[in-house]
């Protein structure tokens, strides 16, 4: 089964450039907000060390390729439209954005580390935007979307758990399976939010929000991509992102530079293994 990865983030963060560099496709790129209006899907590769040398065997991969000792494993990548505040309520392209994000196994959250995007997603001078706040805004939209899904189905979940004799994790997983929630995700989220054994009908609004926050993190593992590291102020903002989100991996990138290298390699101009 192919792993599906969704690229999310604020508009003009460089998501499509990064997507093009990963897939060598040609999604439209521009400096105006919401250039990507519909999700675009392509195939990229996760690169890992090929083990054929370690085991001293001949390499003959069926669904990937080996190049100079590196194994390229295919993954499906989807470039999603930029997200705005209120997306969880359907504003902008929110419904489309979130429905596709739901089908992803993991997320790449792209942030403009240079701070050259304002609060409305318009290009501005580097250093004037706020990458930490941009990341928090998108994360909040994802969590609020989970809260909306959960609360709109809470009666169904409660009824299912009582009438069928299912456990609460089984009931939640069954109702939310469409967004990739599994039983183990629910079990871990109940444990982390200190709600194990508590009747779901007695959960407070805050407890529901805390549970959904953890469930979103557990069911959609996320890698933070600090993009545009070739621009001024990006190093300072990268440090701030790592400090603020210590529990997550923050990766410095330049989608523009990577795309240039990938296209040059594809034309045979250079030797480059991403």
How many whole angstroms from its chain centre is CA 221? 7
Q: Is 183 buried (19+), middle (13-18) or exposed (0-12) by CB count in 10 A?
A: middle
Of 253, 233, 14, 30, whose CA–CA distance to 114 is shortest? 233
Q: Which residues pair with 106 in a beta bridge?
A: 5
Q: Could you tell me if residue 57 is inside a domain? A: yes
Number of structural domains (the chain) is 1
Q: What is the pLDDT of residue 211?
A: 97
Q: Averaged over 8-35, what is the pLDDT?
A: 76
Do you know the residue count of the chain? 274
Quick check: 256 and 230 in contact, CB under 8 A? yes
Q: Which domain holds residue 253?
A: 4-266
Collect all residues with Cβ–Cβ distance below 8 Å to 76 and sequence separation of at least 6: 2, 3, 4, 5, 41, 42, 43
Is residue 143's pLDDT more than 80? yes
Q: Are 234 and 226 in contact (CB under 8 A)?
A: yes
Q: Is residue 272 one of the residues assigned to a domain?
A: no
Q: How far is Cα 109 from Cα 134, in angstroms, rounded to an integer?
A: 10
Percent of the chain with pLDDT over 70: 89
Do the domain assignments include residue 274? no
pLDDT at 95: 64
Q: Is the CB of residue 96 less than 8 Å from the CB of residue 39?
A: yes
Range in 44-58, 117-131, 134-148, 194-208 the model is least confident about: 44-58
Q: pTM of the full predicted structure?
A: 0.87
What SS3 state is found at 256? helix
* pLDDT > 90? residue 57: no
Task: Note the pLDDT of residue 33.
Answer: 47
- Specify if 26 maps to a domain: yes
pLDDT in tens, 216-264: 999 999 999 999 999 999 999 999 999 999 989 999 999 999 999 999 9
- Is residue 93's pLDDT more than 70? no
Predicted pLDDT of residue 247: 87
Would you call 232 helix, strand, or coil by DSSP? Answer: coil
Q: How far apart are CA 141 and CA 91, in angstroms?
A: 11
Average model confidence (pLDDT) for the chain? Answer: 88
pLDDT tens digit sequence for 32-51: 444 545 678 899 999 888 88
Hey, CA dihedral for 171, 175, 177, 181, is it positive or negative?
Answer: negative
CA 158 – CA 199 distance, rounded (Å): 9
Domain with residue 63: its CATH number is 3.40.50.300
Across the range 198-217, mean pLDDT stands at: 96
Region 57-64 average pLDDT: 82
190-207 average pLDDT score? 95
């Amino acid at each position: 089964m192919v792993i599906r990865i969704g690229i999310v983030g604020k508009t003009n963060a460089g998501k499509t450039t990064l997507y093009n560099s990963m897939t060598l496709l040609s999604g439209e790129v521009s400096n105006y907000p919401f250039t990507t209006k519909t999700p675009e899907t392509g195939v990229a590769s996760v690169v890992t060390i090929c083990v054929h040398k370690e085991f001293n065997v001949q390499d003959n991969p069926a669904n990937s390729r080996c190049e100079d000792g590196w194994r390229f494993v295919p993954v499906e990548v989807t470039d999603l439209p930029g997200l705005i505040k209120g997306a969880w309520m359907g504003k902008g392209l929110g419904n489309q954005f979130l429905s596709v994000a739901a089908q992803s196994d993991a997320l790449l959250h792209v942030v403009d580390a240079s701070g050259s995007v304002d609060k409305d997603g318009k290009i501005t001078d580097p250093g004037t935007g706020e990458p930490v706040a941009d990341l928090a805004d998108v994360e909040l939209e994802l969590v609020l979307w989970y809260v909306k899904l959960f609360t709109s189905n809470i009666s169904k979940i409660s009824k299912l758990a009582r009438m069928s004799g299912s456990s609460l994790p089984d009931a939640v997983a069954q109702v939310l399976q469409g967004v990739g929630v599994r039983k183990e995700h629910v079990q871990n989220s109940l444990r982390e939010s200190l709600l194990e054994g508590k009747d779901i009908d007695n959960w407070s609004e805050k407890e529901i929000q805390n549970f959904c926050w953890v469930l979103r993190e557990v069911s959609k593992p996320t890698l933070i991509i600090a993009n545009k590291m070739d621009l001024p102020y990006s190093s300072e903002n990268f440090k701030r992102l790592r400090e603020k989100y210590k529990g997550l991996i923050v990766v410095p990138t330049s989608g523009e530079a990577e795309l240039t290298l990938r296209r040059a390699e594809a034309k045979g101009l250079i030797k480059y293994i991403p």
